[in-house]
Amino acid sequence: MLIREAVPGDGPGVAGVQVRSWRAAYRGLVPQDYLDAMDTERRVARWSEWIAGAVRPGAGMLVADGPGGVVAFAAFAAFAPEDGEGAGGAVGEASELEAFYSVPEVWGSGVNRRLIADVHGAITGAGYTEAVLWVLRDNPRARRFYAAHGWAADGTVTEAGPINGVVLPRVRYRRRF
């Protein structure tokens, strides 16, 4: 398994991982009609543009490549919430792990453990000493994974959505390096 920096040509693989991951991980949390309607092709341009626009070292995406292509990815960037308060008190003092997804076939295989370790290295390599992420409150698998890798809920809860009429509570996790 090779973990490397993403290139814009990875957009299709990243989009496919996101859709497959959402359909498996969010079943029962996100409305099924929304999951069924997720379109990989519509996400390709978005992810290709995100990758192309990521200015290193402050932002980037890492992908895990398997024999059939991208099987996992993680995207991070400077944390700048709308309220103007960064995780450390000022905008830009922390990084945000914006996305971390993998196909179900690699869950529990060690791929995600290697990917999160490389993400931590990229975040600290960019000069950040703190990072945040948001996770669905009702997603115990993801919450256990992040906790096992040094992340902890900081008490901040917000709502995402509505997605097809459903509001999804999200919990903010934080990690210091």
pLDDT at site 86: 41
For the chain, percent of residues with pLDDT exceeding 70 = 93
pLDDT > 70? residue 82: no
pLDDT at site 168: 94
Domains: count for the chain: 1
What are the pLDDT digits (tens) for 142-173? 999 999 999 999 999 999 888 888 999 999 99
Residue type, 25: A
The answer to whether 69 and 6 are in contact (CB under 8 A) is no
Return the closest-CA partner of residue 129 out of 156, 167, 90, 158: 90
Tokens representing 135 are: 């996770």
Query: CATH code at 118?
Result: 3.40.630.30
pLDDT at site 92: 57
Strand partners, 64: 3, 72
Return the closest-CA partner of residue 175 out of 152, 156, 144, 157: 152
Q: What is the mean pLDDT of residues 66-77?
A: 95
pTM reported for the whole predicted model? 0.91
What are the pLDDT digits (tens) for 85-106? 444 444 457 999 999 999 999 9
Tell me, yes or no, whether 18 lies in a domain: yes
pLDDT, averaged across the chain: 91
pLDDT > 90? residue 175: yes
Range of the domain at 68: 2-131
Q: Count of residues for the chain?
A: 177
Tell me, yes or no, whether 47 lies in a domain: yes
Tell me, yes or no, whether 168 lies in a domain: no
Tell me, yes or no, whether 43 lies in a domain: yes
List the helix and strand counts (H, then E) for the chain. 5, 7
Tell me, yes or no, whether 116 lies in a domain: yes
Report the SS3 class of residue 23.
Answer: helix
Strand partners, 168: 160
